[in-house]
Amino acid sequence: MDKNEEKAVVDRINFLYHKKENEGLTAEEEAERKELHKKFIDNFRAGFRQQVENLVIVDKHGKDVTPEKVKRIQRKKGLRKD
């Protein structure tokens, strides 16, 4: 999801939230709210996972102490040569 699509999803979620608080939602709007919320959370998790998978941890002595599980993922994606 690109930034414009993410903003549109967030704006719609916020609109539906405020409508729910003031007037209530129809069954269709509630289903839409749930679907948009799921889409937003899935996108957030994917972005967070990508950040963690690209992370390299270095101790104060300059030694790479990245967890082996992350190193394997990075190797699989071609991000590591070791």
Examine the pLDDT at 5 and tell me if it is beyond 90.
yes
**Cβ pair 67, 73 in contact under 8 A:** no
pLDDT range class, residue 45, cuts 50, 70, 90: very high
**Cβ pair 35, 58 in contact under 8 A:** no
Domain residues for 8?
A: 3-76
- Could you tell me where the DSSP H helices lie in 23-60? 27-53
Residue 81 lies in a domain: no
Examine the pLDDT at 19 and tell me if it is beyond 90.
yes
Helix (H) or strand (E) holding 77: none
Residue with the larger pLDDT of the pair 76 and 81: 76
Q: How many domains does the chain have?
A: 1
pTM of the complete model beyond 0.85: no
pLDDT of residue 68: 93
pLDDT range class, residue 47, cuts 50, 70, 90: very high
